[in-house]
Structure 1
Amino acid sequence: MQSFRTEIENPVVEKDIIELADKIAAFNNLQIDEEKFRSLRLARGVYGQRQQGVQMIRIKLPYGKVKSHQLKRIADVSDEYSRGRLHITTRQDIQIHYVDLNRTPQLWAELERDNVTLREACGNTVRNVTASETAGIDVNEPFDVSPYADALFRFFLRNPICQEMGRKFKVSFSASDEDTGLSYMHDLGFIAKIENGIRGFKVMIGGGLGSQPRHADLLYEFVASDKIIPLMEGVLRIFDRYGERKSRAKARMKFLLKDIGLDAFRELILKEQKAIEFKSVKIDADAYEVSKPVTVNAPKVEIKDQKAFDLWKSTNVIPQKQQGFVAIGIKVLLGDFYTDKARLLADLVDKYAASEIRLSLRQNILIPFVKTDLVPFFYQELKKLDFVEAGYNKAVDITACPGTDTCNLGIASSTGIAEELEKVIAKEYPQYLENEDLVIKISGCMNACGQHNMANIGFQGMSVRTPEKLVAPALQVLLGGGNLGNGQGVFADKVVKVPSRRGPEAMRRILDDFEANANGLQFVDYYKEKGEKYFYNFLNDLQDTSNLTQEDFIDWGNNEVYKKEIGIGECAGVVIDLIATLFLESEEKIDKAKESFVNSVYSSAIYHAYSSLVNSAKAMLLAENIKTNSQANIIKQFDEFYITSYKINLQGSFSDLIYQINKYAPKEEFAKKYIKDAEVFLEKVRIFREESVAKAVVNN
């Protein structure tokens, strides 16, 4: 194994980083299956890139809050390990690209010096907990949701119940009924409410985007704040056990909820409560560290272009509920900026604001706690960084994922077309510079990282074939989506598919029609009034592929003829004994259970033992080529194949053995017994497997 040590003071974090280094070494030595290694590194924020031999690193920044010293640390890391570019995502993370896999442990160790983590930024885990970027300063919020988002992030980080789920799990917090956290498209969405003087949340569940967008259901109208962590633990336990694991396309919470129904899901949550150690988790919002603005005198500033300043001020300066302060929005084209600007920005907010920035869901930057008399000075300083483009969160502010620039799954360029559309709006539709009711979003594929199917006008990267079977880059045009507030939203309709080079013309026609006929209606309402067929009729001719020019075969932002390439392999596969590997993993889970037990964390000890039991049973079913698609089915099928046929004797069913987990409270006595049960079970099935293999050898 690779010899690697950190200087991290936190032993838990140090162990994480050393484990990643050791697993990388084992993978390089062909000791770990590619699929298993992928799962481990993704949960550590290391993601395969479209370009072979390099990785994308996703830095997990809960609710988009970044302190100035953290931003400097991220900039240093990007310069040392990457190319000096930072990319803000639609989940308030920062990504850096082109990183050598073997250097990722050192990179992570450097980030942790300023309490910045990669842990669970990717993979089948609870992803970054997002929130309204105006949380804590929002003039309409009933209270600051930041402490609650922070507490939830910390509780579930490294929590054994959500380390190896069937798929990712996304959570959001909205500061007010405006629902700027977009609760309706999340696995769990929380909207701040106060009832009878008690802080709490409206809870939405089972939303999602992708190829089959689903509007979240209302789980509870109001849940007191001390109940949100136990509630989420119950939801995650059910998702882990019953969620699909065979077909990734159906492995999200939205499909599980659709299959079993909302009422049945609520019942399962109730049944799980006995296994949950903490029935109430009080979140001390008063103890949450709030950034305090500095007190400085405003330097004298001479504004040379008053018109430009006034326009910027009208679109990029946001009122705060704290008297005497405003927030300043920085429009970041496609979420990309460079480390030199990052450092200067960090210095600016450190000296003249509250030493923090917020990253937004629209890939922008917000500076909170700017004294009103400092606004001209900030304009002057931000202008030096080229950070004063007007139109923060307005129509001209287009959201886009990286697309074919770096993503394995990208089909067409999203960044290239986004840049072109922003130019068109700025030049031909300057009135939309101040329009915040028109939202345009672009994704490079159906997975919707750019959130295209919840936009007023959305574009999805695709490809089209000509009558001669030539392939050109294309865009699916989607219309009519939008956030209606308070947990309600509408998803866009797919209207037409046009060659990518015709994207600007499609947008021109849509905006021209909207300008001429909407009569003051917002786009969502106008689209609803006119209907899909109306828009299809005046866009239909753009779908014709019989008359493409040479330029149509070159995607935006590229010089070469388009080639459709999806899912390029990250590295070569290796041949291993998968059954033996699963047994080794079961041993590791038991070791983790014992470690948690020694530390008196009985709930974690029990869940590690549960995971070992499931893993061991899965190994035995795979040995017989029995396919499984959920943990619940593994348990059921093991009983059917091994217990009812008397192949293995457990003195009872496997279901009875394993489902002790939700029948006993997580106390010391039960944890000790359950760990022993997992050990005995692993030993029993291992012996059975060895004897079966030996018999097969003799018979052959």
Structure 2
Amino acid sequence: MTEPSGRPARAPKRPRSEGQWALGYHEPLNATERFKRDDDGLRVKERVLDRYAHQGFASIDPSDLRGRFRWYGLYTQRRQGIPGGRTASLSPEELEDEFFMLRVRIPGGSLTTEQLRTIGEVSTQYARDTADITNRHNIQLHWVRIEDVPAIWGRLEAVGLSTTEACGDTPRNMLGCPVAGVAEDEVIDGSAALASLAPYVGDPRFSNLPRKYKTAVSGCAQHCTIHEINDVAFVGVVGPDGEPGFDLWVGGGLSTNPMFGRRVGVFVAADRVADVWVGVTSIFRDYGYRRSRGKARLKFLMADWGPQRFREVLETEYLKEPLPDGVAPQPPTSPYRDHVGIHRQKDGRYYLGLAPRTGRMSGTLLQQVADAAEQHGSGRVATTIEQKLIVLDVPGDRVEALATRLDALGLPSRPSGFRRQVMACSGIEFCKLAIVDTKGRAATVIEELERRLPGWDLPVTININGCPNSCARIQTGDIGLRGQIVTTDEGEPVEGFQITLGGSLTAEVGFGRKVRGLRSTAAELPDYLERVLRRYADQRLPDDSFASWARRVDEAELR
């Protein structure tokens, strides 16, 4: 065949491979895909138990240390004393210490007091009394030695806890409403549906996904699991026939290229959640992009396919049957999605939502909470995805005594607005990617704003992140602070923050607004926050949220 010019016609150009297994592209395209091909991450546990714990840190194979260890919740932590300005210029070997962060997986945030006490005991014995509640229900410990990991695993497993697939290219800890089954206003109790996914944790069929994979299953009327930014989410709705079930959302995620999840348009009955989850996860495994790590999240596949094609592939290739058309969930009725405070349960008892300062706890404090919860409640506690802690099932006549006891421990159930709404990632204290301090800076922000703006009662979230990766969800905070090195007027490089304004995950879902050149040094941050919050309070319309105000005013008002 020839072209009109007489030259031989060129063969059609084959689309560039994105590494999708379903299209026959099995050759690994980057270093991470190669080490996953060479050995399943789940098998590294054998080497920890049989070799590394006995021979020490120096014996650990680099592909295990900086790769497969994540399949069991282990990351090397940052070597102390390395300034943020050197984060991008040093190799992993230079940045890492010979200690680990260990992430304990807590599905739905649900814990018994025995489990909470065990985590606390592990912390005090093996982790220098560290414990941080994360924004995905987990509890993270630091300063863990490889020699102690087998003993820690044994202690956790004895009470039904695990670190399996707490990190890595796996189905990470699955979110659920921490007050499922007791919340007076829930659409559906999602506990059973969430529990139906437990058998797939550690399943080799799903232990090599293109990237991390985040799941949420909740019937909470306030949408406390923030389904909009999970890879796959099942959201409580009343179905077309009047029965409660779930609306399916796919393709959410933040990091450096944030996208909101999209409705697939199907109704999922509670007893079908596991089947549908397996189908969606299998699509990600088989069709997900594996060429570039930066494009390997499910959100990129959804962006290219769209909900209609995604539904078609799900139903025809994986479920082998159609699903009913779905209905959209009702928006949350409260600007708060955190369950902080004292709330009546549907059984007449109460739960107390506590506000640790940015999730910072200690092993000692966890044990004290376990003691208090046992004496005043039923022995049930929960973590939230807002770095908070809940004590459940408290009889009405014990509520105030428990609230007073916990407040004395630094865990208020009636916190200030700033204590309630400031979130921070691990920051430079432990994280190898961070550029600035976050937990300490957040504590200063809370103290300063409580002093400068006493009695503040308007919902405003302040999310502080130590690097661009958005572990603290900076794009969706009313005020998002991304750590960076900034230069003072005197030319000195210091810790600072790029600022975005007006992100929201309430009825006004949207990402924050970037104002050109809007940044602050860490030292000047309280002054800036006070200034912009006072302007909001002075200029807001009766129904204005911070997000709606920040999106409509001139940039000059935001500086």
Mark yes or no: TM-score above 0.5.
yes
Alignment-mate amino acid for residue 40 of structure 1: R
Q: Does 1:39 align with 2:83?
A: no
Distance across 2 between alignment mates of 1:29 and 1:348: 38
Shift of the alpha carbon at 1:469?
Answer: 6.7
The secondary structure found in structure 2 opposite 1:343 is: helix
Distance across 1 between alignment mates of 2:343 and 2:53: 49
CA 1:25–1:64: 2 relative to 1, 3 Å: closer
RMSD across aligned C-alpha pairs, in angstroms?
2.7
Shift of the alpha carbon at 1:328?
Answer: 0.9
Alignment-mate amino acid for residue 550 of structure 2: Y
Distance across 2 between alignment mates of 1:384 and 1:467: 43
Q: Does 1:183 align with 2:227?
A: yes
Shift of the alpha carbon at 1:263?
Answer: 2.6
Distance across 1 between alignment mates of 2:62 and 2:55: 7
State whether residues 279 and 319 of structure 2, in contact with CA within 8 Å, keep that contact through their aligned partners in structure 1.
no
Q: Does 1:370 align with 2:390?
A: no
Partner of 1:319: 344
Aligned counterpart in structure 1 of residue 177 of structure 2, from 132, 135, 150:
132
CA 1:198–1:316: 2 relative to 1, 3 Å: closer
The secondary structure found in structure 2 opposite 1:504 is: helix
Shift of the alpha carbon at 1:490?
Answer: 1.2
CA 1:392–1:358: 2 relative to 1, 3 Å: farther
Alignment-mate amino acid for residue 163 of structure 1: S
State whether residues 352 and 403 of structure 2, in contact with CA within 8 Å, keep that contact through their aligned partners in structure 1.
no
Residue deviations 1:493-533, cap 9 Å, x none?
Answer: 22222222221122112101111110322212222332xxx
Aligned counterpart in structure 1 of residue 99 of structure 2, from 54, 78, 82:
54
State whether residues 84 and 339 of structure 1, in contact with CA within 8 Å, keep that contact through their aligned partners in structure 2.
yes
Shift of the alpha carbon at 1:274?
Answer: 6.3
State whether residues 165 and 239 of structure 1, in contact with CA within 8 Å, keep that contact through their aligned partners in structure 2.
yes
Distance across 2 between alignment mates of 1:170 and 1:447: 15
Distance across 1 between alignment mates of 2:385 and 2:290: 29
State whether residues 395 and 440 of structure 1, in contact with CA within 8 Å, keep that contact through their aligned partners in structure 2.
no
Distance across 2 between alignment mates of 1:400 and 1:94: 14
Aligned counterpart in structure 1 of residue 362 of structure 2, from 334, 338, 345:
338
State whether residues 331 and 397 of structure 1, in contact with CA within 8 Å, keep that contact through their aligned partners in structure 2.
no
Shift of the alpha carbon at 1:366?
Answer: 0.9
Partner of 2:502: 480
Q: Does 1:226 align with 2:226?
A: no
Partner of 1:401: 425
Distance across 2 between alignment mates of 1:223 and 1:41: 35
Distance across 1 between alignment mates of 2:440 and 2:496: 12
Alignment-mate amino acid for residue 21 of structure 1: L
Q: Does 1:165 align with 2:209?
A: yes
Q: Structure 1: which 5+ residue stretches go unaligned?
A: 1-13, 280-313, 541-700
Residue deviations 1:321-379, cap 9 Å, x none?
Answer: 222x1111211012112222222221221232110111111111111111111122213
Partner of 1:525: 548
Residue deviations 1:451-492, cap 9 Å, x none?
Answer: 11111111111122468875322201111111235xx72111
Shift of the alpha carbon at 1:316?
Answer: 2.5
Distance across 1 between alignment mates of 2:164 and 2:66: 14
Which runs of structure 2 are paired with 1:3-22 in the superposition (5 Å)? 17-22=45-50
Alignment-mate amino acid for residue 242 of structure 1: Y
Residue deviations 1:565-613, cap 9 Å, x none?
Answer: xxxxxxxxxxxxxxxxxxxxxxxxxxxxxxxxxxxxxxxxxxxxxxxxx
CA 1:21–1:523: 2 relative to 1, 3 Å: same
Residue deviations 1:537-569, cap 9 Å, x none?
Answer: 2455xxxxxxxxxxxxxxxxxxxxxxxxxxxxx
Partner of 1:453: 475
The secondary structure found in structure 2 opposite 1:430 is: coil
CA 1:29–1:318: 2 relative to 1, 3 Å: closer
The secondary structure found in structure 1 opposite 2:411 is: coil
State whether residues 137 and 385 of structure 2, in contact with CA within 8 Å, keep that contact through their aligned partners in structure 1.
yes
Distance across 2 between alignment mates of 1:16 and 1:412: 32
Which runs of structure 2 are paired with 1:187-198 in the superposition (5 Å)? 187-195=231-239, 196-198=241-243
CA 1:157–1:275: 2 relative to 1, 3 Å: farther
Alignment-mate amino acid for residue 322 of structure 1: D
Which runs of structure 2 are paired with 1:423-572 in the superposition (5 Å)? 423-432=447-456, 434-435=457-458, 437-465=459-487, 470-485=492-507, 489-495=509-515, 496-520=518-542, 521-530=544-553, 534=554, 536-540=555-559
333-342 vs 357-366, which deviates more?
333-342
Distance across 1 between alignment mates of 2:434 and 2:258: 19
Distance across 2 between alignment mates of 1:137 and 1:316: 15
CA 1:501–1:465: 2 relative to 1, 3 Å: same
TM-score by length of 2: 0.80
How many residues get paired?
Answer: 482
Alignment-mate amino acid for residue 390 of structure 2: L
CA 1:31–1:427: 2 relative to 1, 3 Å: closer
Shift of the alpha carbon at 1:100?
Answer: 0.8
Q: Does 1:212 align with 2:257?
A: yes
The secondary structure found in structure 1 opposite 2:159 is: coil
Which runs of structure 2 are paired with 1:252-263 in the superposition (5 Å)? 252-263=297-308
Distance across 2 between alignment mates of 1:269 and 1:330: 40
Distance across 2 between alignment mates of 1:89 and 1:29: 26
Partner of 2:412: 388
Distance across 2 between alignment mates of 1:98 and 1:17: 19
Distance across 1 between alignment mates of 2:104 and 2:425: 16
Higher helix share: 1
Distance across 2 between alignment mates of 1:27 and 1:348: 41
Aligned counterpart in structure 1 of residue 155 of structure 2, from 110, 128, 134:
110
Residue deviations 1:190-243, cap 9 Å, x none?
Answer: 211232243310111101111111011111342112222111111111211222
The secondary structure found in structure 2 opposite 1:91 is: coil
499-508 vs 57-66, which deviates more?
499-508
CA 1:26–1:382: 2 relative to 1, 3 Å: closer
Partner of 1:354: 378
Distance across 1 between alignment mates of 2:68 and 2:144: 17
State whether residues 161 and 236 of structure 1, in contact with CA within 8 Å, keep that contact through their aligned partners in structure 2.
no
Which runs of structure 2 are paired with 1:642-661 in the superposition (5 Å)? none
CA 1:454–1:23: 2 relative to 1, 3 Å: farther
Q: Does 1:63 align with 2:108?
A: yes
The secondary structure found in structure 1 opposite 2:196 is: helix
Q: Structure 2: which 5+ residue stretches go unaligned?
A: 1-41, 80-96, 324-338
Partner of 1:301: none
State whether residues 48 and 55 of structure 1, in contact with CA within 8 Å, keep that contact through their aligned partners in structure 2.
yes
CA 1:395–1:86: 2 relative to 1, 3 Å: closer
Distance across 1 between alignment mates of 2:547 and 2:247: 24
Shift of the alpha carbon at 1:392?
Answer: 7.0
- Kindly, what percent of the aligned residue pairs are identical? 27
Distance across 2 between alignment mates of 1:268 and 1:142: 29
State whether residues 17 and 105 of structure 1, in contact with CA within 8 Å, keep that contact through their aligned partners in structure 2.
no
Alignment-mate amino acid for residue 369 of structure 1: D
